[in-house]
């Protein structure tokens, strides 16, 4: 999956890939539902299947990483 890709998951919703990161050797994705922006998923791809992260500690870490990425993007936009 790449940034801005639209993917359909088993819940029949369509999501856009808004961010991705590598953490401890695995690529994780941050997805937002195209129809309900409060429906988000964090997970990784295992073969052709998206596996949602449910571990609270890992979720906290990923949210922190993705939040820092967003801050960096916003700061770079200010500099332009």
In a domain, 10, yes or no: yes
| Percent composition of the chain: helix, strand, coil (DSSP 3-state, to 5) | 30, 40, 30
Asked if residue 19 is part of any domain, the answer here is yes
1 assigned to some structural domain: no
Residue 34 is assigned to a structural domain of this protein? yes
Residue 50 has a CB neighbour count (10 Å cut-off) of 17
Per-residue pLDDT of the chain (80 residues; tens, 9 = 90+): 999 999 999 999 999 999 999 999 999 999 999 999 899 999 999 998 999 999 999 999 999 999 988 888 788 877 76
Domain count across the chain: 1
- Give the sheet arrangement for strand 40-46, strand by strand: 6-8, 14-23, 26-33, 40-46, 49-52
Domain coverage including residue 64: 6-79
pLDDT of residue 80: 66
In a domain, 13, yes or no: yes
Q: Is residue 33 part of a domain?
A: yes
Number of residues assigned to the chain = 80
Whole-model pTM: value is 0.87
């Amino acid at each position: 999956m790449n940034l801005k890709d639209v993917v359909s998951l088993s819940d029949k919703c369509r999501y856009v890939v808004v961010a991705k990161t590598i953490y401890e050797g695995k690529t994780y994705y941050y997805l937002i539902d195209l129809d309900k922006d409060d429906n988000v998923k964090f997970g990784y791809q295992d073969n052709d299947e998206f596996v949602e992260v449910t571990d609270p500690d890992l979720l906290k870490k990923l949210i922190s990483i993705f939040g820092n990425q967003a801050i960096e993007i916003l700061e770079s936009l200010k500099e332009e």
